[in-house]
Amino acid sequence: MNYERTNETGPVSGESPMVGAVISTDPDFRGRLTEIFATGGEVVVGFDVVEPFTRITDAHLEKLRQVDPDVVFVDLESDPHVGLKFSEFLLESSTARTVVGAGSTDSPEILLRAMEAGVLEFLPKPLDPRKVEGVIERIRRKTGKTANRETPRQLGQLLSVFSPKGGSGATTFAVNLAVAIHQVSRKRTLIVDLDLELGETALLLGKDPRFSSVDLVRNYHRVDEGLLASYIERDESGVELLSAPYQPGDFGTVEGDRIGKILGFLKEQYDYVIVDVPKTLNAVTLHAFEASDRIYLLTTADLQSLRNVTRSLPLLKGLAGGRDDDWIRLVVNRFSPSHPISVSEVEKTLGMKVRWTLRNDYRAVLDSINEGRPAVLEGRSAYAENVRRLAADITGIQTAPKTKSRLFGGLVSALRNGHADRS
Ligand SMILES: Nc1ncnc2c1ncn2[C@@H]1O[C@H](COP(=O)(O)OP(=O)(O)O)[C@@H](O)[C@H]1O
Ligand SMILES: [Mg+2]
């Protein structure tokens, strides 16, 4: 069995960070591990599988092999017996080099079975960060992998969402996009709500935040990672939020360029920063655009919205500087094929290509607002699918095909063929 990584192009062993993968249906467990990886553990999250063991597909396994994690954390809580068979399969097929199990059981039978399966350690749930860090440290010593902090961190991408007409769905889109990006990439993702009058991102996540972007801007001179963390709210979905103030606030005498510096600082801390830019154009919004790697310009296909977009386009284009035309990406929201104004008419009116359409999906969007749970967390509405596709485009990570799960069939036959079945 070959446990060596054959990575010709990557950094030599000893200089590369440790890569982890997580298999769990439990969002709290995944969120907590991601957090420990990012802070105490200094582990790069390679891939998460969120499906129950019986729904894990060959595509998931293929992705796992590509990511080639140093350690796979397997949440055994829901089904310890199948989970342990699966762990054994991962190890014996070299899909994983190390498996760490977790669960709330203290049954000696399960622990013994875990040992037999080759599971390196067993962590009790809920996870104790120090225990997880201890496990990571032991694996690190074994593999000779360095902590992530020793490799220079790449700057994150800052994506602004903007619609010049209120009620077009910009905030809904910003929140769903952030959650979808995090779902596919498991990278650190932050939503920044710059709408000081009507900031609604917290509402869409069902959150009641204590601090806001105003606090961050006011205290900018002493902002470091610690203070930033105290202003940030963590959602169960895994995304983090720098909310708008509950009561309309203002940035007072804050010069616009301060927001540019803050956004630059946030890009150092996060892989993706999604900014909900309000429709009021002022120094803060203009600096937010300038700091953006991409602007998603959202419109609905009606005359009033298109007219507002036409009016704001010269200003946005004026901020583009040397950036290419692709900097501003037009998204038509509340799209339906039977809509009286077609996509090509929108393109003709605005003189630019429509890059994406998001389906009009009243029910899904309304339900998600009422429940404080973004639509992309709930099943397969047309809107959620559209946003997911966009997130895949941004992250470069394609979501698993939606064809019916072939795997457990595949896995079961692998087990039967003697890979793992000892019973
Ligand atoms: N694709 C969509 N289909 C149906 N309703 C939508 C869609 N996108 C947004 N909405 C609804 O439009 C309203 C305005 O959305 P919001 O995100 O607050 O817009 P904005 O931030 O542009 O003012 C909300 O009631 C939201 O539910
Ligand atoms: Mg809004």
Instruction: Quickly state the pLDDT bin for 418 (edges 50, 70, 90).
Output: very low
Is the CB of residue 388 below 6 angstroms from any atom belonging to ligand 1?
Answer: no
Atom of ligand 1 nearest to the CA of 172: 17
Express each pLDDT in 189-200 by its tens digit: 999 998 877 778
* 138 and 259 belong to one structural domain: no
Express each pLDDT in 153-176 by its tens digit: 678 999 999 999 999 999 999 999
Nearest CA-CA partner of 177 in 403, 386, 420: 386
For the ranges 139-148, 206-215, 344-353, 399-408, the lowest mean pLDDT is seen at 399-408
The predicted structure's pLDDT at residue 207: 82
Nearest CA-CA partner of 80 in 114, 54, 51, 120: 114
Q: How many domains does the chain have?
A: 2
Is the CB of residue 299 below 6 angstroms from any atom belonging to ligand 1?
Answer: no
Is the CB of residue 363 below 6 angstroms from any atom belonging to ligand 1?
Answer: no
The answer to whether 139 and 70 are in contact (CB under 8 A) is yes
Average pLDDT, the chain: 83
- As to burial, measured by CB atoms within 10 angstroms (0-12 exposed, 13-18 middle, 19+ buried), residue 93 is middle
- Looking at the domain assignment, is residue 301 inside a domain? yes
* 119 and 192 belong to one structural domain: no
The predicted structure's pLDDT at residue 420: 37
Q: How far apart are CA 220 and CA 350, in angstroms?
A: 38
- Looking at the domain assignment, is residue 358 inside a domain? yes
Instruction: Quickly state the pLDDT bin for 272 (edges 50, 70, 90).
Output: very high
Q: Is the pLDDT of residue 303 over 90?
A: yes
Is the CB of residue 163 below 6 angstroms from any atom belonging to ligand 1?
Answer: yes
The predicted structure's pLDDT at residue 41: 59
Is the CB of residue 175 below 6 angstroms from any atom belonging to ligand 1?
Answer: no
- Looking at the domain assignment, is residue 105 inside a domain? yes
* 237 and 333 belong to one structural domain: yes
Q: What is the mean pLDDT of residues 366-388?
A: 90
Atom of ligand 1 nearest to the CA of 366: 27
* 106 and 136 belong to one structural domain: yes
* 163 and 140 belong to one structural domain: no
* 56 and 171 belong to one structural domain: no
Last residue of a domain, one of 134, 150, 166: 150
Express each pLDDT in 72-111 by its tens digit: 999 999 999 999 999 999 999 888 889 999 998 778 888 8
Q: How far apart are CA 354 and CA 298, in angstroms?
A: 10
The predicted structure's pLDDT at residue 150: 47
The predicted structure's pLDDT at residue 419: 44
Nearest CA-CA partner of 86 in 44, 108, 119: 119
The predicted structure's pLDDT at residue 253: 54
Q: For residue 328, give the CATH number of its domain.
A: 3.40.50.300
Mode of pairing for the β-strands spanning 240-242 and 233-234: antiparallel
Following CA atoms 83, 180, 341, 327 in sequence, which dihedral angle do they give, to the nearest 10 degrees? -140
Residue 55: domain span:
18-150
Instruction: Quickly state the pLDDT bin for 13 (edges 50, 70, 90).
Output: very low
Last residue of a domain, one of 132, 150, 168: 150
Instruction: Quickly state the pLDDT bin for 40 (edges 50, 70, 90).
Output: low
Instruction: Quickly state the pLDDT bin for 34 (edges 50, 70, 90).
Output: confident
Instruction: Using the structure block, give the residue that is written with the tokens 């708008």.
Output: 244
* 186 and 224 belong to one structural domain: yes
Q: Is the pLDDT of residue 149 over 50?
A: no
Q: For residue 39, give the CATH number of its domain.
A: 3.40.50.2300
* 92 and 225 belong to one structural domain: no
- Closest residue to atom 26 of ligand 1, CA basis: 169
Q: What is the mean pLDDT of residues 395-411?
A: 55
Q: What is the mean pLDDT of residues 44-69?
A: 87
- Identify the residue with better confidence: 287 or 211: 287
The predicted structure's pLDDT at residue 16: 65
Rg (CA), the chain: 23
Atom of ligand 1 nearest to the CA of 361: 3
Q: Is the pLDDT of residue 274 over 90?
A: yes
Q: Of all residues in the chain, what percent carry a pLDDT higher than 90?
A: 44
Q: How far is the CA of 28 from the centre of ligand 2 (A)?
A: 28
Instruction: Quickly state the pLDDT bin for 133 (edges 50, 70, 90).
Output: confident
- Closest residue to atom 16 of ligand 1, CA basis: 169
The predicted structure's pLDDT at residue 145: 67
Is the CB of residue 301 below 6 angstroms from any atom belonging to ligand 1?
Answer: no
* 44 and 67 belong to one structural domain: yes
Q: Is the pLDDT of residue 38 over 80?
A: no
Last residue of a domain, one of 104, 132, 150: 150
For the ranges 73-82, 96-105, 213-222, 300-309, the lowest mean pLDDT is seen at 213-222
Is the CB of residue 334 below 6 angstroms from any atom belonging to ligand 1?
Answer: yes
Residue from 162, 163, 172 to probe ligand 1 pocket by mutation (most atoms less than 8 Å from CB): 172
Q: How far is the CA of 167 from the centre of ligand 2 (A)?
A: 7
Is the CB of residue 369 below 6 angstroms from any atom belonging to ligand 1?
Answer: yes
Q: How far is the CA of 103 from the centre of ligand 1 (A)?
A: 40
Residue from 365, 369, 385 to probe ligand 1 pocket by mutation (most atoms less than 8 Å from CB): 365
- Identify the residue with better confidence: 178 or 214: 178
Q: How far apart are CA 82 and CA 75, in angstroms?
A: 11
Using left for φ > 0, alpha for ψ between -120 and 50, and beta otherwise, residue 258 falls in: alpha
- Looking at the domain assignment, is residue 7 inside a domain? no
- Looking at the domain assignment, is residue 213 inside a domain? yes
* 165 and 142 belong to one structural domain: no
Q: Which two tokens stand for residue 309?
A: 């977009």
- Looking at the domain assignment, is residue 90 inside a domain? yes
The predicted structure's pLDDT at residue 240: 92
3-state SS string for the chain: CCCCCCCCCCCCCCCCEEEEEEECCCHHHHHHHHHHHHHHHCEEEEEEECCCHHHCCHHHHHHHHHHCCCEEEEECCCCHHHHHHHHHHHHHCCCCCCEEEEECCCCHHHHHHHHHHCCCEEEECCCCHHHHHHHHHHHHHHHCCECHHHCCCCCCEEEEEECCCCCCCHHHHHHHHHHHHHHHHCCCEEEEECCCCCCCHHHHCCCCCCCCHHHHHHCHHHCCHHHHHHHCEECCCCCEEECCCCCCCCCCCCCHHHHHHHHHHHHHHCCEEEEEECCCCCHHHHHHHHCCCEEEEEEECCHHHHHHHHHHHHHHHHHCCCCCHHHEEEEEEEECCCCCCCHHHHHHHHCCCEEEEEECCHHHHHHHHHHCCCHHHCCCCHHHHHHHHHHHHHHCCCCCCCCCCCHHHHHHHHHHHHHCCCC
Q: Is the pLDDT of residue 225 over 80?
A: no
